[in-house]
Amino acid sequence: EQIEKGGYEHFMLKEIFEQPKSIHDTMRGRLLVDEGVIKMAGIWDHVERFKNANRIIIIACGTSWHAGLIGEYLIEEYARIPVEVEYASEFRYRNPIITDKDVVIAISQSGETADTMAALKLAKEKGAFIYGICNVVDSSIARITDAGSYTHAGPEIGVASTKAFTAQLTILTLIAFKLGKHNGTLGNAEFMSLIAELDAIPKRVEEVLGTTHELVQNIAKDFVNATNFLYLGRGYNYPAALEGALKLKEISYIHAEGYPAAEMKHGPIALIDENMPIVIIAPKKGHYDKIVSNVQEIKARKGKVIAVVNKGDQQVSSMADYVIEIPETSECFSPIVASVPLQLLAYYIAVYRGANVDQPRNLAKSVTVE
Ligand code: AGP
């Protein structure tokens, strides 16, 4: 096992550090920047089915559901196809309206999640076209789908999903750009610039790992005894906030909630006092000014702000108690880059609390029962 961990103390840390490679591997052979092409046979063979879909329904659980939410932002923004994201467990039991004009995308790292599998079977019976995004090759979900794309993240052993999540985001980004190009909703110049930026994302992630690792380790020390956490983000980073909170609760057993930052005033603001740590994802692109006022509201109530901002940020940084800098990217890529320090934060808080990071209590890597 020590050898498999490659010198890291836990699989989770190894998997966090593998992300530049796993994202790169997921794009390899698909993203051909010089030719200005995204090659994805699974999409291309059915591209009219996607283009003419009434809507795309993304079905998943847990972290994969968070990736699905970001997929909704991506596909609606770039391909202009309506998208709904559903928890598999809710979808399967609520007599959903599904027709043969719908496309269902199932996202599952393991490809064995019982609820996702059952929801897919239901959608298939009703004639929907089923597309899978799985990490485990030849898994049950991968086998029943009509087409799909594997994330090439490699085996993920830590129960808390990290590299599978960023690989899922990578695939969803490729799908959104490919469909957008085909549908004519993403112009060529923007397509070319976005794919060049995507190609460099593994480098950005590498950079973030290098610049934030020690810093986040130190920040984590101050929160070992925290009992609650709020994670806030807007736009593409709202699901990233949900994912940050899920990581923390899974492995550290600290109660954490993710919220869209603007929803704070509809309830969670009542929780804020000097004992409430609030992680706020505030990159320059994407509702920055709105986030600034959210941070002002938090500081007025003495909440402890841990801000994830772009390099050189001034406004949010001047108010925050802790500042984690990430490189500036187009908004659609920011959840990938911002997730890395949040994974590290959850990891180190859990380690300092003496928790079993790779195998947290009560959790299984794949949930094959209801
Ligand atoms: C992630 O950290 C969790 N352990 C969990 O939420 C997981 O994402 C969920 O069970 C879905 O698993 P799947 O992607 O294998 O279907």
Q: For residue 366, which atom of ligand 1 is closest to its CA?
A: 15
Is there an atom of ligand 1 within 6 Å of 63 CB?
yes
d(CA 203, CA 95): 45
| Selected catalytic residue, list 21, 51, 285, 365 | 365
ipTM over 0.95: yes
Give 205-262 pLDDT, tens digit per residue. Answer: 999 999 999 999 999 999 999 999 999 999 999 999 999 999 999 999 999 999 999 9
Give 142-154 pLDDT, tens digit per residue. Answer: 999 999 999 999 9
Residue with tokens 């949040």: 342
d(CA 325, CA 312): 8
Residue from 365, 333, 55 nearest 169 by CA: 333
Tokens, residue 87:
């928890």
Is there an atom of ligand 1 within 6 Å of 114 CB?
no
Arithmetic mean of pLDDT over the chain: 96
Q: Is the pLDDT of residue 282 over 80?
A: yes
CA of 319 to the centre of ligand 1 (A): 35
Q: Which residues contact 260 (CB under 8 A, 6 or more apart)?
A: 232, 233, 234, 238, 241
14 is catalytic: no
Is there an atom of ligand 1 within 6 Å of 342 CB?
no
Phi-psi domain of 340 (left: phi exceeds 0; alpha: psi -120 through 50; beta: other): alpha
* Predicted pLDDT of residue 266: 94
CA atoms in the 13 A half-sphere facing the CB of 241: 27
As a whole number, mean pLDDT of residues 59-79 equals 98
Q: For residue 250, which atom of ligand 1 is closest to its CA?
A: 2
Residue from 154, 184, 169 nearest 71 by CA: 169
Ligand 1, atom 9, lies closest to the CA of 62
Q: For residue 164, which atom of ligand 1 is closest to its CA?
A: 14
CA of 159 to the centre of ligand 1 (A): 8
3-state secondary structure 251-316: HHCCEEEEEEHHHHHHCHHHHCCCCCEEEEEECCCCCHHHHHHHHHHHHHCCCEEEEEEECCCCHH
State the sign of the Cα–Cα–Cα–Cα dihedral 8, 356, 240, 225. Answer: negative
pLDDT band at 296 (very low <50, low <70, confident <90, very high): very high
Helices (H), the chain: 11-17, 19-27, 41-44, 47-51, 62-79, 88-91, 114-125, 140-144, 163-183, 188-199, 201-221, 237-252, 288-300, 315-319, 334-352
Q: Is 175 helix (H, G, I), strand (E, B) or coil?
A: helix
Cα 74–20–163 angle (5° rounding)?
Answer: 65
Give 43-52 pLDDT, tens digit per residue. Answer: 999 999 999 9
